Structure 1
Amino acid sequence: MTVGGIGAGHGAGGRARLDPDEMRLAPGQHADVRRVLGLFAPYRGRIAVVLALIALGAATGVVSPFLVRAIVDQALPDRRLDLLAACVGGLVAVTVVSTALNVTQSMVSTRVGQAVMHDLRVDVYGHLQRMGLGFFTRTRTGEVQSRIFSDIGSMQAVVTSVMTQIVSALAGIVMALVAMIAMDWRLTLFSLVATPLAVWMNRRVGTRRRAIVKTRQEKSADLAAGIQESLSVSGILLSTTMGRTQALTDRFARDSRELADLEVSSEMAGRWNVAVFSSLMAIIPALTYLLGGYLLVGGDRSITIGTLVAFIALQSSLMPQLNGLLRVSNQISASLALFTRVFEYIDAPVTIADRPGALELDPRAVAGTVAFDHVSFAYPGSEELTLADLDLVAPAGRHTALVGHTGSGKTTTAYLVARLYDPTSGAVTLDGHDLRDVTMTSLAACVGLVSQETYLLHATIAENLRFAAPEATDEELVAACRIAQIHDHIASLPEGYRTLVGERGYRFSGGEKQRIALARTILRDPPILLLDEATSALDVRTERAMSEALETLGQGRTVISIAHRLSTIRSADQIIVMRHGRIVERGTYAELLEAGGDFAQLVAQSEDSGPGASLAPADAAHPPVR
């Protein structure tokens, strides 16, 4: 199942939204805090270091108010310069130690956060690699990119810093409360009077922001998908030739405005609640002075001026941390919407996967007999059968050609051989082995697919070729390109095999891309070749030359070709004529022509259309958009 040109454009017209059945989460697999914390499990050791540093920093932070109290109540009134110097030295030492601890903790926590982000990106990407073609025919590329880059990128602040901010704030709050209670429990109780109101307001804001963020990310994904589609080479060609440039710009402006409005709503959600709480946090210290002064004037000997000053200092550090903790928890609540979107991808079931104990085929030992045993197939989300009770044997080392009108099931048949999909019922076998019992990697080494929709990477010609065979030598590249009738053209380019092909290979004509894709498959040297109209973009003379090369290449291999130019399959060992997913005729070119059935009508139609004419393009490789 080599890279030689599997079509990559089906997603452009697909749905922006994922299939609800396909994306349904497994029980308990929602984005709750416990699951998010589970992402940090592999880094327990480093997290323990971070927690220790945070605890030390918090403990160091509460020392300063006690030093201030000693200065106010003892050093200054008693004129003790030694105690004053010691306390000042302690304040300097506390500042230096706190700074060093904060920098070290920040470095370690950032490394842990980035490691978690790396793991998450790799998990999503690796899972998507196994999702199969069906998933991508129904999901826009921009949607996928949005979840990998935008959603995970937006989560970065939460993963890399917010978690440590929470722990740091909690440690600071606990230390400050212990110190405040040690100074005066009555002032401490008074300081916390507004906390229940703050928690209640924070929960309301968090729920609202989470809903807004989810909507914002969906709109952002739609915008990214639109950009990816409309600003690609194909998109520019389409919009320019259709005169839709201004219409697309206007639509983009509307979507961008909606996104901007959602950004404002997300940013401003609960701002009045936060403002009220912040005002309370500012007012409480002033009222604490009033209460402390009342106790002091009333003769309460447990209250001193130093105690009151130190208490206000502790209170001044407590309130921002409490406010920050509530704000950060609000941010996490909103970020759970992002985690949910990413977990939807991670939890999406893989429809094409290796079974436990799957067989590892050796391409050198594969004879190449491909058989369809009562195979029926319907694309996911469609009840209509594309293939119905298909019985077919492609003998090893022989050329089997599939012909028929558009929608007859030819390309689908080839895709089942490459196991881009699994049959709905029945079995596809290779040398008697059900493909579902064979590892995907070994099957890929046995089956080479070249489609009429060739796909080239934005890389050099040599890099495109070596994608199929990374260890191939320069001589092997040249030999494969000679067989594909493309070497002379490559050699005539100023940079030869180092020529950059451009996005999707648009620097080359359709025929040139097709031949490069064929050369790429030839490098894999697979025992089975699937040719989905592999010469459709070639002129008659080049096609004739390449057909001869393919005939030579196909000797000793199993070749299954989909043909629309019937002149290219005259020498096929058997021709299968398909109609509506069923086989209606089979035989050699001469036998079918003499029978005067569907094949004879196809030949007559192609002859009426002139030399080199072909039938309609291949049947669609994806289900209709719902």
Structure 2
Amino acid sequence: MHPGPGPGPGPHMMRGFGADPSVTKQRVRRGTIARIARYARPYRWDLAIFLLAAALSALIIVAIPVLLGVVIDRGVLPKRVDVVVGIAALVAGLAILDAFLNFVQRWYTARVGEGLIYDLRTQVFAHVQRQPIAFFTRAHTGSLVSRLNGDVIGAQQALTTTLVSTVSSALQVILVLVAMVYFSWLVTVVALVLIPLFLLPARLVGRRLQRLSRESMQLDAAMGSTMTERFNVAGAMLAKLFGRPREELGLFAGRAAKVRDVGVQRAMYGSSLFISLTLLATLSTAVIYGAGGALVVHGTFQVGTMVTLALLVNRLHGPITALSNVQVDAMTALVSFDRVFEVLDLRPLIEDRPGAVPMRLAGQDGGAAADIVFDHVTFHYPAASEVSLASLESIALPVPERTGVRMSVLHDISFTAPARQLTALVGPSGAGKTTITHLVTRLYDPSEGVVRVGGYDLRDVTLESLHDAVGVVTQDAHMYHDTIRANLVYARPDATEAELVEACEAARIWGLISELPDGLDTIVGDRGYRLSGGEKQRIALARLLLKAPAVVVLDEATAHLDSESEAAVQRALKTALSGRTSLVIAHRLSTIREADQILVIDEGRIRERGRHDELLAAGGLYADLYRTQFARQEPVDVGRRPGPPGRHLPPPHGHRLPPPGGPRHEHPGPAW
């Protein structure tokens, strides 16, 4: 029996994340150090000042033991107070100077370190944003966040903490050894004879710690992914609705246990290295006092020289310990850099080709003659190796991909969606409708054939200009956890207050927003969960109207709404689609009847095309779909004035608006 009250990670949980050898045992790639040097180049003057301060500090560290030996031989033993006071004052002054030099080193390493973090984070963020949508469907959010946080911070240590330790320690070791040999080469050799016995274990421990560090980073990312998925609104709701808190705890406990186990191993390897070096320091000090004391007794050198050698050997072991740990720290930092470079080296599948031109559509503000043409388009989704990394998926070992022909999703599709007209896509689930819309927005490129908008091959235009010309609204319109205003101006940052109000009025949502205590500055919540589905869709349509694109791609926004919300959204849609080229995945009979052209998609092919009455009379696949999906739908009277659009947004401080007169929403949402 399990002794505690909580569940233990069961056998299936223990398999949740395996140590992927391709990830945890991968060695740092060649060229990584040279690549790091390029990131350090902008900070070369900061590094030069740091190196100068480190060299002066190393000189002081050697000078103080020498002065303390002198004060014994020439001040204490001869009983000369002036010499004792003078040298003591000099030592105090050097100590103050050394403290200042340490401050200088810290200042410049902080400048370099924080600057490097900024450079890496912004570069990785920009690069990830350029990745295709297929990348985000495979990568774990927690793993990506880990690269931007943990790995970037670990990488900057290569040029800050590790660099400080390496340079300072190396200078100290060199200067201390020179001083020790100057005073007694024999005692120095005797004291250092033990050091090689500890270097080989240190190398072996360093290699093992490198592998453990990589595995620890991967496990931390997996655990972060679990928290990211379970702590958002949708994940928390799913766990509660299915009543599986024990299983969720078991999953998290299993991953946390692996992090714990790796942490224990890292701690033990690190401790064994530290204990060995501490033992080395103690034994070397004993040798100094034994051998040096015998030489003092025989009159070979003075007491002050023996004290100087003892102090110097103590100053030697600290840098040696640091240099031994530097291998571990450096390899850990190199692993972090390598993981960051792994992301930066993943080439975006969709990007501007050389010589890409801006798409310019005459009268683009809703009135452009921008037809959509699919010319013999075939498409299959890219392989995982083309769009993702095994280390970012974090769930299981990578599955070897089959070579050869991949199954196509679309097969030799050709059609034209005429300018300023509405083309509806209908068909069974999985037929390829959404894939067609993804090609129009260039989330993917066709495997064969050409997609054109306004006469432009989409592969020949800049992505920025394409996204300016094409507007998209999906079934589940995404909202950022911000104000209504911020979510609206995301489409057009320079929009004025009057333009915001005009767009909201056209989308039939201003009546609701104007009644809220904070108006446009009302917070919508995570993913817009403080809004109903109809309210989110109308805000999304207002955002589309602000953008004023020439082409509208719509995964119809009324598919899952109640009749009251649908009526309001349909009226907003009439405004949004007016005068624009529209490609709509249609789920409602009202939209299909108004379409200028209907394309019936099945198994990646266009089976039928025409208008509603024509296709219904033909008695083919569309007629079957009509009988099974559309016949029972009540047509929405979009001319009728709507009642209240459901539950209005209450004010955020516990004061609710007057009870609405209309029906409640399709989802209750949290209390305000």
Q: Tell me the CA shift for residue 390 of structure 1.
A: 1.2
Deviations 1:330-388, CA, capped at 9 Å, x for gaps: 12223333333222111111111111221012354553122112111111228221111
Taking the aligned partners of 2:560 and 2:630, their CA distance within structure 1 comes to: 19
Instruction: Provide the residue aligned with 1:381 in structure 2.
Output: 383
* Paired AA for residue 79 in structure 1: K
Instruction: Provide the residue aligned with 2:190 in structure 1.
Output: 190
> What's the secondary structure of 1:529's corresponding residue?
strand
Structure 1 segment 167-566 matched on structure 2, within 5 A: 167-300=167-300, 303-363=301-361, 364=363, 367-381=369-383, 383-566=406-589
Taking the aligned partners of 1:402 and 1:360, their CA distance within structure 2 comes to: 28
* RMSD between aligned residues: 2.4
Q: Mark the runs of 5 or more structure 1 residues left unpaired by the alignment.
A: 1-14, 614-626
Mark the CA change 1:65 to 1:548 in structure 2 (over 3 Å): closer, same or farther: closer
Taking the aligned partners of 1:408 and 1:113, their CA distance within structure 2 comes to: 52
Instruction: Provide the residue aligned with 2:60 in structure 1.
Output: 60
Contact 1:114 1:160 in 2 (8 A): no
Instruction: Provide the residue aligned with 1:10 in structure 2.
Output: none
Q: Tell me the CA shift for residue 548 of structure 1.
A: 4.2
> What's the secondary structure of 2:280's corresponding residue?
helix
Q: Tell me the CA shift for residue 16 of structure 1.
A: 8.9
Instruction: Provide the residue aligned with 1:102 in structure 2.
Output: 102
Instruction: Provide the residue aligned with 1:73 in structure 2.
Output: 73
Taking the aligned partners of 1:120 and 1:331, their CA distance within structure 2 comes to: 19
Give yes or no for the alignment of 1:573 onto 2:591: no
Q: Tell me the CA shift for residue 545 of structure 1.
A: 4.8
* Paired AA for residue 341 in structure 2: F
Taking the aligned partners of 1:335 and 1:298, their CA distance within structure 2 comes to: 51
Taking the aligned partners of 1:426 and 1:321, their CA distance within structure 2 comes to: 65
Contact 1:373 1:392 in 2 (8 A): yes
Identity of aligned residues (%): 38
Taking the aligned partners of 2:546 and 2:606, their CA distance within structure 1 comes to: 33
Instruction: Provide the residue aligned with 1:92 in structure 2.
Output: 92
Q: Tell me the CA shift for residue 155 of structure 1.
A: 4.4
Instruction: Provide the residue aligned with 2:658 in structure 1.
Output: none
> What's the secondary structure of 1:269's corresponding residue?
helix
Contact 1:16 1:139 in 2 (8 A): no
Instruction: Provide the residue aligned with 2:650 in structure 1.
Output: none
Mark the CA change 1:612 to 1:138 in structure 2 (over 3 Å): closer, same or farther: farther
For structure 1, which segment, 354-363 or 515-524, has the greater mean C-alpha deviation from structure 2 after superposition?
A: 354-363
Taking the aligned partners of 2:356 and 2:421, their CA distance within structure 1 comes to: 27
* Paired AA for residue 533 in structure 2: G
> What's the secondary structure of 2:594's corresponding residue?
coil
Using structure 2 for the length normalisation, give the TM-score. 0.84
Taking the aligned partners of 1:509 and 1:267, their CA distance within structure 2 comes to: 50
Mark the CA change 1:550 to 1:251 in structure 2 (over 3 Å): closer, same or farther: closer
> What's the secondary structure of 1:62's corresponding residue?
helix
Taking the aligned partners of 2:572 and 2:17, their CA distance within structure 1 comes to: 42
Contact 2:553 2:584 in 1 (8 A): yes
Larger RCO of the pair (alpha carbons < 8 Å, separation 6+): 1
Taking the aligned partners of 1:532 and 1:324, their CA distance within structure 2 comes to: 60
Figure out how many residues of one structure are paired with residues of the other and give that number. 592
Using structure 1 for the length normalisation, give the TM-score. 0.90
Contact 2:176 2:316 in 1 (8 A): yes
Contact 1:31 1:343 in 2 (8 A): no
Instruction: Provide the residue aligned with 1:621 in structure 2.
Output: none
Taking the aligned partners of 1:415 and 1:459, their CA distance within structure 2 comes to: 27
Contact 2:557 2:569 in 1 (8 A): no
* Paired AA for residue 311 in structure 1: L
For structure 1, which segment, 239-248 or 333-342, has the greater mean C-alpha deviation from structure 2 after superposition?
A: 333-342
Deviations 1:28-80, CA, capped at 9 Å, x for gaps: 96584443344322111111011011111111221112212221222233333
Q: Tell me the CA shift for residue 232 of structure 1.
A: 1.4
Taking the aligned partners of 1:206 and 1:33, their CA distance within structure 2 comes to: 18
Taking the aligned partners of 2:101 and 2:490, their CA distance within structure 1 comes to: 48
Taking the aligned partners of 1:390 and 1:144, their CA distance within structure 2 comes to: 36
Taking the aligned partners of 2:240 and 2:156, their CA distance within structure 1 comes to: 38
Taking the aligned partners of 1:165 and 1:271, their CA distance within structure 2 comes to: 19
Mark the CA change 1:566 to 1:197 in structure 2 (over 3 Å): closer, same or farther: farther
> What's the secondary structure of 1:167's corresponding residue?
helix
Q: Tell me the CA shift for residue 591 of structure 1.
A: 1.8
Q: Tell me the CA shift for residue 609 of structure 1.
A: 3.6
Q: Mark the runs of 5 or more structure 2 residues left unpaired by the alignment.
A: 1-15, 385-405, 637-672
